Homo-oligomer: A and B are copies of this chain.
Amino acid sequence: MRIVQKFGGTSVGSIERIQNVAKRVKGWADNGYEVVVVVSAMSGETNRLTELIKKIDPNANRREQDVVLSSGEQVSMALLSIALQAIGIEAVSFSGWQAGISTDKVHSKARILDINSSRIDAVLKQKKIAVVAGFQGITNEQNISTLGRGGSDTSAVALSIALKADECQIYTDVDGVYSTDPRIVPEARRLNTILFEEMLEMASLGAKVLQIRSVELACKYEVPLRVLSSLTPIDENPSLEKLEGTLIIPENKKQTMTKTMEDPKIAGIAFNRDEAQIKVMGVPDRPGVAYKILSAISEQNIEVDMIVQNTSANKLTDFTYTVNRGDYARALEITEGLLSQIEATGVIGNNKMVKVSLVGVGMRSHAGIASKMFEALAQQGINILIISTSEIKISVGIDEQDLEKAVNILHQKFELEKQPA
């Protein structure tokens, strides 16, 4: 069996922690697994390097920034190799270019084009551990590139694909993906499995455990991806069979990879505290109005999240959209400036809004979920400001003071604290 294990900056944040990672990896090697370890820079290092750059030029050339930043993983990968060797496990480190990770040339947020894994393959054949720098690669001009913050997850998934790994394990400071944030709902339950599609919604909605890019990539190539904790006691006799954490899997493998035939309808509840709503009122109900508003907003590099428009009997409608709170003031100003042009009557903003979403592939075939959700919220006197749905999620905008109450009542109503049978 071949596995790829990714350890983030916190997990390799000190010599002691690097030695702990080595011990954890050793168990797998001793049990005959072929292991590729992907590491981030030691925590704090990327910030330190970024500060050095900023002191010279906050708008420094991105090629050169990548050269500076990529040194962080170069150090941690070699230190981990040394720590592995110190406990008797042969290991060889590989920077992005040594690992054959080709990227496009968009420095600081490059995308992986291809991986030539022949060097790593050779090392695995020699029964050695390959330790690979995450977050970085090489362009076809032989320049060092970085994938952007959090790119190490993507490196790990891409290597899993290239190396046909049986599992890609992302070690973090949480022990898996939960039905919702346990700080809000103490009964929140760790999910043994979650589908890729559900994970994408959970991640993009604020339950940030994994980089969305890495989940998308794993989804596309159907690489089993597991989120698990690097803080749990080290199992000296580990195996894929008894591993905990949350396994993220493709839908077509769900039946074979999970113990239960009874899918829960809802995977979990995600929420985002960082929303703000802008409602344009009395908009003439004719083509082009939504376009005019949204293009003016996106020209300012403001990302729009939810968009809702109703038709109305009297040919006037309301057009509502949400943005990150940090963009609220600018978005409001831009929209107000467009009022006369689009012949709307007014704008109301609300930057005290949060978004709560039910996520689950199971809801596709269960029309009753939305009504059950709205009923539960109504019973608690929670006013819904905006509703947006997709095939596998239902999102509502509510007042921020209602967040905890809403998440708790929904978690309870859909019985998410219960283990699937």
Contacts and interface: CB of A to CB of B under 8 A. Distances in A.
Interface of A: 15, 18-19, 49, 52-53, 55-57, 60-61, 63-65, 67-68, 70-72, 74-75, 77-79, 81-83, 85-86, 92-93, 95, 97-98, 119, 142-144
A98 to B, nearest CB: 6
Given A55-B15, A74-B71, A75-B52, A82 B95 contact: no
Given A49-B75, A52-B79, A86 B57 contact: yes
Nearest to A71: B71
Q: How many copies does the complex hold?
A: 2
Contacts of A56: 15, 18-19, 79, 82-83, 86
A98 B142 contact: yes
B49 A64 contact: no
A79 B86 contact: no
A143 B77 CA distance: 14
A121 B64 CA distance: 19
5 tightest A-B contacts by CB? A67-B78, A71-B71, A60-B82, A57-B86, A64-B78
29 contacts: A15-B52, A15-B55, A52-B79, A56-B82, A57-B82, A57-B83, A57-B85, A60-B82, A60-B85, A60-B86, A63-B92, A64-B93, A65-B78, A65-B82, A67-B74, A67-B75, A67-B77, A67-B78, A67-B81, A68-B75, A68-B79, A68-B82, A71-B71, A71-B72, A71-B74, A71-B75, A74-B74, A98-B142, A119-B142
A78 B74 contact: no
A111 B60 CA distance: 34
B85 A61 contact: yes
A61 B85 CA distance: 8
Contacts of A119: 142
A49 B83 CA distance: 14
A168 to B, nearest CB: 24
A46 to B, nearest CB: 12
Nearest to A66: B78
Contacts of A83: 56-57
A355 B25 CA distance: 55
A93 B67 contact: yes
A363 B19 CA distance: 60
